[in-house]
């Protein structure tokens, strides 16, 4: 996101001098036109502090390889949205491009002059305007200019002192979907860890389980808990009589687990960033790439809605916590094998909660009493179970 600077409106000759001084040093800025051929960084006069301006935008000024489309929260594909953040609350009637009788105040156009049709919606605080194209996608490899005009006014009716414009260029690829994360040999396991599996009996596991490089003595499942599947151990220790010793398979699988984590964490150009401010309880999430710079909490039931081939990848720079007695719900044919939760912190699935998808955890995965998971628990430390049901998809 580009952030804009405050400055002063100047007489034309001073503005020319200021613009000259800025030459070569304005990367990432968006400029406000004050006279033909003259631009200065947008801001307000000392004596006119109530004048609003645009302080940041997305895409940022001069951004490149911008996605041409995205999925909305209700799983509708649209052209990539453009946002403008204002320095103070605005009068939404003066910013909405769809208001009857109001001149267009927030526009997006190809730099060659072709207008992009769309609608503008303000957030609840009336500080962020989002322009959503009515097209299903912008044109690839195309330069666009977004403009907010002086018709935009703040809540007190004071107009912007200068129009603000910024440019961005789209890429060639439509980022509406993600390829599934390849699990390699780790994909045969319902539970795979490096540091072992603790268990409060009885749990019910449908799928293989294993741990490496720690000794098989750290796998505390019993054979009776393996409804289907095999317990793999790197050595002669481990539950009998169902334990199979296969250090080669486990070494490969753990290596593939790490590679899958790196793949999921390294996906770029997210469709959504910091959705729900980290609390996704109660939301319906469309397919796509999601990124959080915080932990994620599932405080209430959350729904993932998409087709059988749809893919969700959740990049979480912190913990993942699902509250007690909540559920991850799948709709529209969505499949848990195509849902990937990559978390750099601990993962905790609450008491009697139900989870869907593949967990790729840098640290611990803890299933609380009576919780269930339709997916895979792939941890780079340990997995702890307390009378749980885990089924690989």
Same domain, 221 and 267: yes
**Which pLDDT band, with edges at 50, 70 and 90, does 271 fall under?**
confident
User: Quick one: 254 and 304 in the same domain?
Assistant: yes
The percent of residues in the chain predicted with pLDDT above 90, rounded, is: 65
Query: Do 122 and 211 share a structural domain?
Result: no
Query: What confidence tens digit (pLDDT) does each residue in 281-312 have?
Result: 998 887 888 999 999 999 999 999 878 888 99
| Residue 87 and residue 189 in one domain | no
- Stretch 318-331: mean pLDDT: 97
d(CA 13, CA 11): 6
Domain assignment present for residue 364? The answer is yes
SS3 label, residue 86: strand
Tokens at 60, concatenated: 């940022």
The H-or-E segment that residue 385 falls in is: strand 383-386
Do 31 and 61 belong together in one domain? yes
CATH number of the domain enclosing 46: 2.60.40.1220
Whether 160 and 256 map to the same domain: the answer is no
12 pLDDT higher than 60: no
pLDDT category at 382 given cuts 50, 70, 90 is: very high
Which residue in this structure is represented by tokens 């599932």? 298
Q: Is the pLDDT of residue 246 over 80?
A: yes
Lowest-confidence pick of 43-57, 127-141, 233-247, 328-342: 43-57
- Answer yes or no: is 211 within a domain: yes
Q: Give all strands (DSSP E) within 163-301, no chain letters.
A: 164-170, 189-193, 197-200, 204-206, 208-211, 226-228, 231-233, 243-245, 272-273, 284-285, 288-292, 296-298
189-199: average pLDDT: 98
What pLDDT is attached to residue 324? 98
Residue 97, pLDDT score = 56
Residue 154 forms part of a structural domain: yes
Indicate whether 34 and 157 sit together in one domain. Answer: yes
Confidence of residue 103 (pLDDT cuts 50, 70, 90): low
Q: What pLDDT digit, counting tens, does each position of 73-101 carry?
A: 444 567 789 999 999 999 998 997 554 55
| Residue 165 is assigned to a structural domain of this protein | yes
CA distance 176 to 155: 36
When pLDDT is averaged across residues 222-228 and rounded to a whole number, the result is 96
Q: 121 with 201, same domain?
A: no
Per-range mean pLDDT, top range of 14-28, 111-125, 132-146, 347-361: 347-361
User: pLDDT-based confidence at 173, cuts 50/70/90?
Assistant: low
Answer yes or no: do 17 and 164 share one domain: yes
Per-position DSSP letters for 205-230, written without gaps between them: EESEEEE-SS-GGGB---GGGEEES-
My answer on whether 148 and 210 are in the same domain is: no
As a whole number, mean pLDDT of residues 235-256 equals 95
Pair (213, 125) in one structural domain: no
Same domain, 233 and 342: yes
**What's the domain count of the chain?**
2
More confident residue, 360 or 136: 360
In the prediction, which pLDDT does 40 show? Answer: 34
Mean pLDDT of the chain: 84
pLDDT of residue 22: 35
Cα–Cα distances in angstroms (integers) from residue 380 to residues 85, 125, 259, 314, 389, in the given order: 40, 42, 11, 17, 21
Please indicate whether residue 260 or residue 172 has the higher confidence score (pLDDT). Answer: 260
The answer to whether 165 and 106 are in contact (CB under 8 A) is no
Q: Average of pLDDT values for 114-132?
A: 91
pTM of the model: 0.60
Domain for residue 175, yes or no?
no
> What torsion, rounded to 10 degrees, do the Cα atoms 330, 331, 335, 338 define?
-80
- Among 74-88, 93-107, 146-160, 372-386, the minimum mean pLDDT is found in 93-107
- For residue 365, the enclosing domain spans 184-391
């Amino acid at each position: 996101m580009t952030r804009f600077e405050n400055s002063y409106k100047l007489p034309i000759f001073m503005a020319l001098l200021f613009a000259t001084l800025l030459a070569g040093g304005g990367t990432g800025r968006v400029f406000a036109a004050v006279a033909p051929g003259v631009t200065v960084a947008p801001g307000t006069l000392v004596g006119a502090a109530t004048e609003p301006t645009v302080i940041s935008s997305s895409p940022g000024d001069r951004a490149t390889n911008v996605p041409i489309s995205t999925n909305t929260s209700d799983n509708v594909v649209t052209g990539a949205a453009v946002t403008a953040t204002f320095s103070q609350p605005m009068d939404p009637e003066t910013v909405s491009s769809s208001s009857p009788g109001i001149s267009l105040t927030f526009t997006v156009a190809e730099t060659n002059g072709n207008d992009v049709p769309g609608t503008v919606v303000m957030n609840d605080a009336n500080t962020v305007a989002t322009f959503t194209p009515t097209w299903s996608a912008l044109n690839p490899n195309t330069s666009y200019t977004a403009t907010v005009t002086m018709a935009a006014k703040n809540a007190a009716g004071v107009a912007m002192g200068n129009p603000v414009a910024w440019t961005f260029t789209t890429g060639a690829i439509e980022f509406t979907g993600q390829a599934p994360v390849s699990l390699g040999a780790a994909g045969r396991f319902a539970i795979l860890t490096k540091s072992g599996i603790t268990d409060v009996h009885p749990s019910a596991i449908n799928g293989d389980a294993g741990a490496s490089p720690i000794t098989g003595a750290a796998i505390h499942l019993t054979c009776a808990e393996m409804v289907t599947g095999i317990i793999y151990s790197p050595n002669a220790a481990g539950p009998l009589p169902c334990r199979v010793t296969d250090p080669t398979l486990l070494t490969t699988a753990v290596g593939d687990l790490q590679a899958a984590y790196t793949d999921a964490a390294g996906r770029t150009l997210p469709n959504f960033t910091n959705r729900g401010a980290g609390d996704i309880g109660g939301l319906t999430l469309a397919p796509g790439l999601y990124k959080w710079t915080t932990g994620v909490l599932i405080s209430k039931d959350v729904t993932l809605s998409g087709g059988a081939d749809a893919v969700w990848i959740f990049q979480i720079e912190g913990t993942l916590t699902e509250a007690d007695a909540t559920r991850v719900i799948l709709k529209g044919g969505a499949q848990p094998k195509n849902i990937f939760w990559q978390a750099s912190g601990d993962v905790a699935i609450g008491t009697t909660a139900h989870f869907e998808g593949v967990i790729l955890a840098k640290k611990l995965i803890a299933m609380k009493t009576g919780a269930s998971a339709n997916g895979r628990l792939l941890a780079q430390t340990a997995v702890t179970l307390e009378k749980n049901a885990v089924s690989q998809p």
